Structure formats: structure tokens, C-alpha cells
Chain A
Amino acid sequence: MSDTTQSGPVLAADGTPLKRSLARALRMQKLRALMLIAPLLIFILLAFIFPIADMLFRSVENRIVADTLPETVVTLKDWDPMSGESPDEAVYESLYYDLFVAAEAKEHTKLGTRLNYEHTGISSLFRSSGRKVDDIGKADVKAIQRSGDGELKNGALWYEIMSGGSSAAGDTDLLDGERTKLAQLTGEKFSGDIGFVPGAEISKLFPRTAIAYTDFALFTAVVDGDIVAEEKPWETVYVAFATEVSTDGGAANLASYTGPGADALKAAAAAIADLPPISFKEAFLDIDKDWGNVGNWRTIQTYSPEYTTGYFLNSVDLHLGADGVEARPENQQIYITLFKRTMIMSLMITGSCILLGYPVAWILANLPTRSANLLMILVLLPFWTSLLVRTSAWKVMLQQQGVINDVLVWLGLVADDARLVMINNQFGTIVAMTHILLPFMILPMYSVMQTINPTYLRAAKSLGATNWTAFWRVYFPQSVPGIGAGSILVFILSIGYYITPEIVGGTKGVFISNRIAYHISSSLNWGLAAALGSILLAVVLLLYWAYDKIVGIDNVKLG
């Protein structure tokens, strides 16, 4: 028997608490609503948000240096660029092994391009060095190959030495480490069985040689799809062995080595004993004297971290100099100028759209429907014409031998040799863009003005207001939401405009988007383009926020 005055929760018909039951019903409704918008949501996420986020992420991402030269970045850390001297032998040695692998993977030129954005000349330095890096230590390579019975010329014995024979313990840590390194370098997966595991003994005695051989093995098996034991090892393997065995510890290690191919290795060591030790620094300076350039090394060092502020600094005319952040040389400063110009000109375009659009919208809203519709088509007609056609039409109109100048000369208002310059400057951009963006201003204004009741104006006038007072005090305030909506549309569209300024803007009438486009499609400096784009996006959001604070976004109406 239930008590009507019970203090417990109200129950639904099926006995569950009403609150929960209601929540469930609502949840079902919400879920259904969500399912309805899901296609759009997923579409926007996949086609818009993710790509943009990915693009913006490039403005700080800088993994390419550490991925391509993993060891060099580490050894270079201790080098002091202020010393004015190029780094020591150890750095060049790391560079040799890194560059060799990178050149095999054809990744070194990408890094060259990347670093060339920061320091002129690195691009060709990497390209030419990548071609010649396999010549380093050539004498030692040849001597080892010729030593003994020439067995070390081929892959089979090397395979046996490096794997330590079929029953030997393997060093899987080393193998996995190299897998990760190569995967980061190439972006490919280096997983799976490659038919080779470096032997634990050899990798302890000659670690560098084991690493070089493992890289070779991974590359041969995964990238080329060949069998490791059948292929001749890379030059790095010979060079690594030659350097390691010529140290004091190396000779002792070799003496203690009893695994497969011990005799061949000893013969090889004897063959290179008379050769001068390999100097990687000299070898690199031989390839290109720019490897001794402190500026190049400082650039590599500065841009070794995985994330960089470099692109953002570049996009505000700064750069990472020797003493931290400093201004770019004056003859390279351009982005701040362009950002300012983009803002100012977009404001001017918005302003002229308001001035031209307001009367048109007013007439549209106050004409009888029939004539309003006709006028509306006139407003929309240019809207339906291709953007390029409209821009090119302005070229015909505005140029010095163009329609307007011809008419002015014909009327005698302008002398033939003093024709007006109305294109390839800011004026041209403002005129053409005002024309193109005008419908975006007129349409929101029109739809807001349509909702303004004409009786208010009549009432104001009947109370003694002049035409102007009636307009300014009664009509205009009610039309402000339309102006706000139109202005936001026009302003945001215009700061991102690209094609019109490119065609009619000349040099003084181009926007920041023209530089972004240049960096995306011509210089391929996507990081800088992303940084410029991020700043533009941040500025728009900031202005939107400011607008909300000052005018209030609730005051914006599209109709």
C-alpha cells in the first residue's frame, strides 16, 4: 500500500524514479538528435578540423633534424658555437654515419631544404655531400676487401660474423633500437623478421660496426626486399670496423674475439694497419669546405629540438640568432608590414562596403516586393559570376589604357600622358574587393532592415522628429545588428583573401595570404605558412572576442 505523503522520490509508472526515467527519455532524444547531426559533425571533423589542426601543428613541429641526424644532434649538444671553431672529430664521425643512412633513404635532401630556410647554402651542402659520403674512408674499405682471401668483399662472411653464427645469442635491443631509428627516419615500418639478429658478442666488442651492419641489414631486408646474407654490406660497415679496430681497446677486442671469421677480421686489421687513421672532419672538409662553417653547424644545433619556435619567430620578423631571439635584418622584414596592411586594408574594405551597401539595403527593404526582387537580382548577379572573371573585369576597367581612363581622357578631364594609376596598387585591391564582397554586406543588412517596422519611423516623425533625427535615433540603431553581421562576414573574408590582391594588388596591395600561398606552393616552407596562418587565425579570434566584448555577439543578426 503506497502512502501518498511518502517522502521518497516520485516514481514513474514502471516503478523507476521519475527523475531517472525522465533523464532516460531525454537522453534518447538527445542521442537521436546527435545521430541526426552526426554525418555533418563527422564530416566537419574529418574534412576540416583535423586537417587544419594538423596543418597548424606544422608551425612548431621540427622532428626532421633529430630524425635525420639522430646521433649528430646528440654529439653536437656539447659544442659551443661561440667558440668560433667548427665542432670536433666526434661530431663529424656521427655525421658520417647519420648522413650515410639518410642518403641511402634519400632523406638528406629534405633536411637540406628544411635547414636552407634558416641558413642559405645548406641545401646544396647536403645534396652534394649525400652523393659523396660513400667515398669517405675509401682506402680502408678497399684494403679490407682485398685482405686475406678477399672473403670480406662479399656478404656471406660478414653475415656470419655479425650474426655470430646460428647458435649465438642475439642482441635484440640493438636491433629494436635501429628499427625505431630507421622508422623515424623514413616514416616506414621496419617491423617483421629480417632474417638477421646482431650477435651479442660482436656487438659488445665492435658496437659501431654492429650498428652499421644492422642498419644495412634492415634496409636490405625491408626496403629492397633482398636477403641480407647475399648482399655486400655498406661502406659504413668497413669504415666502422676500421675505426674501431685501430683504437687500442679495439685491437685487444679483436685479439679476444674467437667467433666466426676471426681470421679474416685479423687479416683485415693487419691490412689497414699501415693506412693513416680515417679523419672524418678532414674528409667532410674535402667534400665541401662549408662543413667547416660555424654558421651551418650553429643552424643544425639551434634547430635540433623536436619543436621549434623558429617558424613563429620568422613570421613576426624575428629569428633565433647566436644570442637567442633577435630581429631579422631590416632588408628581410616583411611580415609585420603585411599583417598591418592586411588589417588596415580589410578595415577599409569593410568600411566602404558599409557605405555603399547601407543605402542599397535600405532601398531594397523599402521598395515594393516586385521592384525589390528585381534589384535583388542585380545585387546577386555578380555573386553568381566567377570570381576570376570579376577580378579580370576590374583589370580592364581600371588599367591605364582601360575603360575608365579612356573615358576620362575622351572627356578631357585627364591628359593623355597623365592617365590615372588605379590598378596594381592598394586602390585597385580595395575597389575590386569591395565590389566582390558587397553582397555579403547587403544581404544581412537587408534581412535585418526588412524586420524594422516602418511605423516606428512614422511615429517618430509624427512626434516632431526631423527626417535625420528619425533615421539616426530610431531607424539606424535597429539596423546595427545587420551592419555588425555584414562587417564580421566581410572583414573575416577579406583578411583571408588571396586571388584578387594577387591579380590587381601589384606590390603595395597584396595581403599576408599571398605570402602564405607562396610558402605553401612555391617555397614549400609549410612550417612558416602554418605559423603565418595560425597568427592570422588567432587575430581573427581575438577580433571576434573584442567585438563580442564591445558590441556583443547577441547583437549580430543574419535576419
Chain B
Amino acid sequence: MKLRKLSALVATTALCAPMAFAADMADEMTIVSWGGAYSNSQNKAYHEPYAEKTGVKIINDESSNEAVAKMRAMNEAGNITWDVVDVVASDAIRLCDEGLAMEIDADEMLAPAPDGTSASEDFGDLLVSDCFIPQIVYSTTFGYRTDLVGDTPPTSVCDIFDLEAYPGKRALEKRPINNMEWALICDGVAKDDVYDVLATPEGQEQALAKLDTIKDSVIWWSAGADTPQLLADGEVVMGSTYNGRLFSLIEEQDQPVAMLWDAQVFDLDGWIIPAGLSDERKARAMDYIYFATDTQRLADQAKYISYGPARASSAPLVGKHAELGIEMAPHMPTDPANATNTFLYNYEFWADYRDDIDAKFQAWLAK
């Protein structure tokens, strides 16, 4: 069996010697991502150079927000049409749990840092799942209208809950994650105890009670583009969203909006490779991943969008915005000036408590 495979390989290599390396890789691949400015940054930093180097045809699919459900359906139908999928870390963990994503050996499959540091060390703690290859660190944080907050712009996340000093509507995401943590912190719970408190029914009640104080002044968003629109229209005074969205609102669209980095919640976004790909497609996907997650490429992406590269070795290489020409480093969520008070999304906690707390949160919303 093995012998036959080998001889077939030798034959193909001999037949098409000039492109011997690409012979056993698919020459077309489907990459799934989030669309918008984010896909655009990946296009510029990864897809275009990769296509140029290898001649592979890359098909973009913008289904990342439904990736888990779709991959489960594809798996059940036995027809996987995606080769590389961009997902947030919590989804990667679920895909790994469900056996829908391939397990990754970081040191074997990913490029080492230029100074020889192994990939697993370079990514460090960010390798939160066996199947996940981190790409960026982003944060969910607040932006506020500079012209609507008077002379004392908000400096703390708890100003969200201060209706007297900052009257007007706020935009919060229509899900418990992040909101419950912020509510508890602003209700006097120490940052280190937040998840212990949130694990108890009383703690959940406490968080909802705190959110109840501003419930009538909240517009709940479900798409990342909602808050920038609400801020631009002056519908809300302040609102949470992904920091890259606020960056483009402030720097690219020049709106009177400023960042409130306090208690920003870090989260990770990265690649997974679906389980059960054919050998050629898997080889192609892995080749792409090796290329797209090396130190320079990750730093390149930061030229187009203000998300921090996931490799430690990429940080010093982050330069200027490709079009605006401004330094990107101060706009990164990981910049020391911005990261004085931060949170890391607690994957384990939310994997366990999401269903329970979400039921309570939704029931509270509907009340």
C-alpha cells in the first residue's frame, strides 16, 4: 500500500518536475473570514502575496460568524467545502470539542520566529486550543462621542453606568459575555473575583441588577458595525464594539469619537483547518497557514487594521498604516498605554456558563 503510494508520488514528480512541490497540493482553496475591512487586511497581507507566490486561486467566503453551525452541517452532510477558516478563539475551542477542526502541532506546522524561537513559544499562551492558530489579538472596548460628553470625557468603564454624568443612550452587545463582567466590576467586585462571583446565581443576579440600572438607556447591538453607525449618527453617547471598528471610525472616517480603553476585553482570532480534508487540500491549507502566520505576515496585517499580531516576535515589526501613514502601534489594544487595565476573555468559564447565563440574560432582556 505504502509502496504503491510512493511509486505514484515518484511518477507524478517525474512527470511534472518543474512544479514538483505543488503537485500534491490542491490549486484552489476556499478561505473563510469575516468580510469587510478585516477580510481586506487579510487579502492584502496574506492572500495576494500567497497567490502570487504559488499561483493558487483563493476563493473568499464571508461566513465566519456562522462558521461553527455551517461546519457542523457540512460535516454531517459529509461534504466539506472550506479549506481554512478564520474564527474567534471560543469558536475554535468548540470546533475542536466537536471534532470538526484538525489538531495542530504548532512547532511542526508553523514557522519559527526569525531568531529561531519555536512557534509554540512565540505564540505562547495564545495557543488556547489544540486546533487554533492565533492570528490577531483584538479587544472589545468602548468608544464615546467627544462632543456629547461635556468637558469631562469618561475615563473608566464604570462611566457607562453613570447616567447622571453621561446622560444619553449606550450601545452594548446583546449577549451576556463582557457585559456581565463590566457590571460586576462597576458594582464593586474585584477584578480577580469576577468569575468566581459570576459562577454563582447570586453573582449573576447582582450583575443583572447592575445592568438593570441602565437598561432603559441601552441600545443592544448584535453586529459589530452597529455601534460605529450609532456613534456616527449620534444615537448613542458611548458604546462597545471591536477596537478595529472604532479605529476606522476615528481615523479613517474622522468622526468625533474617542477610545475608552479601560477594562477592554482581549480576545483572539485565528485560523483553524477543518477536519476531514482530502490529502491535497490539507497539504495546501497547511502550506498557506505556514506562510500566512509567519512573523512578517502577521506584522503586515497590522498595516491595514488596528489589531495586534499574535506573535511576540511580530510586535516590533508593526509599522505605519498603509494608506493613512500614521503609526499603528499606539492604536493597538496591546500597546502599553492602552493596556493598563485589561481582561482576557475567559474561554473555559464561558464554555460552561454560556447556556445558563444566556438564558437568564435573555429572559432579563425580554422582561
Contact = CB atoms under 8 A, between A and B. Distances in A.
Q: Do A and B associate with each other?
A: yes
A129 to B, nearest CB: 13
B220 interface: yes
Nearest to A505: B220
A466 B27 CA distance: 78
Contacts of B359: 332, 334
B204 to A, nearest CB: 8
A106 B94 CA distance: 12
Contact of A332 (B351, B354, B360): B360
16 contacts: A109-B96, A109-B98, A110-B98, A110-B99, A120-B352, A120-B353, A121-B352, A122-B352, A331-B364, A333-B363, A334-B366, A401-B233, A401-B235, A507-B365, A507-B366, A508-B366
B318 to A, nearest CB: 33
B287 interface: no
Given A401-B233, A506-B219, 15 more contacts: A113-B98, A120-B352, A120-B353, A120-B355, A123-B352, A331-B205, A331-B360, A332-B360, A334-B359, A400-B235, A402-B233, A502-B222, A507-B220, A507-B365, A521-B65
A116 interface: yes
B366 A338 contact: yes
Contacts of A522: 69
B280 interface: no
B354 A523 contact: yes
Interface string B120-137: 000000000000000000
Contacts of B219: 424, 506
Interface in B218-240: 219-220, 222, 233-235
A381 to B, nearest CB: 25
B48 interface: no
Which interface residue of B352, B354, B356 has the most chain A CB atoms within 10 A?
Answer: B352
Interface in B260-294: none
Contact of A106 (B69, B99, B174, B358): B99
Chain B interface size, under 10 / 10 to 19 / 20 to 34 / 35 or more: 20 to 34
B97 A113 contact: yes
B94 A524 contact: yes
Contacts of A508: 366
Nearest to A392: B229
B362 interface: yes
A75 B235 CA distance: 60
Contacts of B222: 502
Interface of B: 65-66, 68-69, 72, 94, 96-99, 169, 174, 205, 219-220, 222, 233-235, 348, 351-356, 358-360, 362-366
B97 A109 contact: yes
B355 A112 contact: no
A338 B362 CA distance: 11
What's the dominant secondary structure at chain B's contact region? helix
Contacts of B99: 106-107, 109-110
B354 A334 contact: no
Sorted from nearest, which 5 A-B pairs have the closest CB atoms? A109-B97, A120-B356, A521-B69, A334-B363, A507-B365
B358 A331 contact: no
B207 to A, nearest CB: 12
Contacts of A332: 359-360, 363
A109 B97 CA distance: 5
Interface of A: 106-107, 109-110, 112-113, 116-117, 120-124, 127, 331-334, 337-338, 399-402, 424, 502, 506-508, 510, 515, 520-525
A524 B354 CA distance: 11
A338 B359 CA distance: 13
Given A520-B69, A521-B69, A401 B354 contact: no
Given A110-B99, A524-B68, A515 B358 contact: no
Given A127-B97, A399-B235, A521-B69, A334 B362 contact: yes
A124 B366 contact: no
A510 B365 CA distance: 11
B97 A110 contact: yes
A127 B233 CA distance: 45
A337 B359 CA distance: 13
B295 to A, nearest CB: 30
Nearest to B348: A124
Contacts of A112: 97
Nearest to A515: B362
A533 B34 CA distance: 28
Contacts of A424: 219-220
Nearest to B222: A502
A524 B72 contact: yes
A307 B199 CA distance: 31
A120 B353 CA distance: 6
Contacts of B366: 334, 337-338, 507-508, 510
A127 B65 CA distance: 24
A443 to B, nearest CB: 32
Contacts of A523: 354-355, 358
A115 to B, nearest CB: 10
Contacts of B94: 113, 524
A442 to B, nearest CB: 31
Nearest to B275: A106
A55 to B, nearest CB: 10
B306 to A, nearest CB: 26
A127 B348 CA distance: 10
